[in-house]
A and B are shown apart, each in its own frame.
Chain A
C-alpha cells in the first residue's frame, strides 16, 4: 500500500562527484574547480608522489608484519587518494582526529617516520605527540574520535580561532551512537568540523549495505549538515571537497560531511582473510579504478613524461620505506618503568606501592629472569 504522505528515502544517489575519471579524463565541476585554480602540474605531481609514498608505507609495513617486526597492520591500499587529497587540504594548525587506518594522513601531517609504526609493534599505545603534528592518537574504538573532533571544533569556536578539525571514520562507524551524536552536536553548535567518511565498502566482513540503505552522505542532511559525495579514488575531488568544507568551517558556516566512496583493496588488517567473505570480481572491478593509475593517465594527457615523475616518486618512496624500516628496527623495547608511568598526573600512593612491590619482585629474580625457589625461613 502506498501512502503519499510518506517521503521516500532516496536509495540511489547520483554518481559521486568525480574530477579525474579512471581513464584519466578530466571532468569539470564549477564549484570544485573553483577551489583548485592553484593546482598546476607540479602540485599534481606532488599529490601523486604522496600517494605513491603512502602506498609504499603500506607495502613496507605489511612486509614488516610478515617478517614479525610488527604485530599487526591495517592497510590503506586503495584509499590513498581519499587520504592524501583530504590531508593536503588541511593547514598545519587544523587538527585531525582519525581511526587506525589513516596512515597516509599521518604522513601528510609530517609524522616522524620513527613514530608511525611503534603502536603496531606493540611498543606504545600512541606513536606520536598529538601536538607536534596536530593529529590525535589514532582511535581504535569505532567512531569515538568523531565526538572528539566536534569538541575540539567547539573549542576553536569558543576561542574565536579560524582553525578547523576533521574527523576521519569508516562506513561501519556511521552506525555507532557516537557518530550520530557527533553529527547532532556539530549541527547544534555549528562547529567548524569536517566529517570525512571513507566508505571503503567494508567493515571487516560486513558490507556497507548492512549499515545503511541510503548513501551515507544522505545521513547528514537529517542532522542539518550539508554533504558532498565524492569519488574517493579521485585525489582532486578529495582535495577540492575538503577545501570547500574547510572554507565553510573558517567562514563560520559550521560542519560539512564528505563521503568519499572508495574501496579497501587489502584485508581489514594483516590478521584478516577477506577471501572468506568477498568476491574476487568485486576486487578486480575496483582495481580498474585505482587512484594512482588515473593520476598517471591524467598527467599523460597533459603531456607530462609519466616515466620520469613515476621514477622520482618511487625514489622518494624508497627513501621513506628505508627510513621506516631502519627507524623501526632501531627502536628499543619499552622499559618496565613505562608500565606504571603516566597513569595519573598527580601522586597516587596505591599505584606507587604496587610499583614498588613489583620492583622488589623483579629484583628477587635471578639473572635470567626466573624466580629462585626460597631456602630457609621467611620473616614475612
Chain B
C-alpha cells in the first residue's frame, strides 16, 4: 500500500501546517433512553404518523393470523409475490397461505451458484409484490432498518413495485441512534444494511415530489403482534 503511506505522510504534514482548532467542543447530546413496555403504544403511533407523512401506508398492529389474511388479500391480483425469510416472524406460514390462495410465490434460498443467482434476480424483477421483515423500525422518522443476509437479499425491498414490510412490535425503537446501537458495530461491519423511509421518491423536476421513481412505488407496513390471543 505504497499510496496510502504517501497520502498519510502528506496528511501529517498538512495537519501540522494548518494547526488544528480545538477538537470536539462538546460531547454529542445523550441518547434518548430505550423504550419500556408502557411506551410501546406511543412509539407505534409516532412511527405510523411519520410513515404516512413520507407516503407509506400503515396497515395496523395485527396478530400473525390477521397479518396472513391481510397479505393474502393484498396479493390477490399479483402475478407473483416474493417472500423473504423473517427475522422474528415465521414467513413460511405467510408463503403457504398465499400459495394456497393460488397466487404464484417465490422464496429466497441462499446460493453460491452464479446462474441460480441470476435466475433469482430475473424472477424477482417480475414480481409485483415483495414481503420482507425489518430488523427494526424507527419511530421518530417512520423508518425501517433492514439487514442484508443470504436469505434476505436487499433487492427484495428494492425491485418490486409494491413493497410490504413487517416488523415485530418489540422491535420499534425511538430513534436512529437507538437502532444503530441495537444492531451494534459488529453486525454492521459484517452485513449491509438499508434504512428505508417511505417509497422511493424524487423531487428532481421543479422540486415536485413524485413517489416511485426507481424503487418501490408503494410501501405498506404491518406491525406484528407476537401472540394470537
**A pairs with B:** no
Chain B residues packing against A (C-beta within 8 Å): none
